[in-house]
Amino acid sequence: MLDNCANYLNHLNTVHASALFALAEASSGYFLLNEFSKLSDIVPVVRKVETKYKKPATSCIFSKAEFQDTDKNEVLDMLNQKGRAILKVEVSLFDEVEVLIMQSIFEWFVTKQ
């Protein structure tokens, strides 16, 4: 979540794109680490990001993350077999009245240590 704070505003008095992106990236990483919390030996690195800004944001922002075109069990199999995997996490940002503000797809490269 990103609080409604003047520090996050840009010259148009809307939430700055970089603040939105930072929330999306942090949400993606948190989701990924939470989904694979039983694996203490993985190192995830962002490989590619696609972002679409949909509406200007002027209030608190909330995030929702989920796998995109990714089966968690297939990823676990790849990690066990090859020691690495590529997966995608979709992050959607919403304002406090649930208007979609931004949507990103984070492609992660995950390796085992």
Domain borders along the chain are 6-112
* pTM assigned to the model: 0.92
Return mean pLDDT, the chain: 95
Residue 98 has pLDDT above 90, yes or no: yes
Topology given in CATH for the domain delimited by 6-112: Thiol Ester Dehydrase; Chain A (3.10.129)
Rounded Cα gap, residues 99 and 106, in angstroms = 21
The secondary structure element, H or E, covering residue 65 is strand 61-67
- Asked if pLDDT for residue 70 goes beyond 90, the answer is no
Question: What mean pLDDT is predicted for residues 29-54?
Answer: 95
Q: Which of 25, 22, 24 is nearest to 44 (CA)?
A: 25
| pLDDT for residue 90 is more than 90 | yes
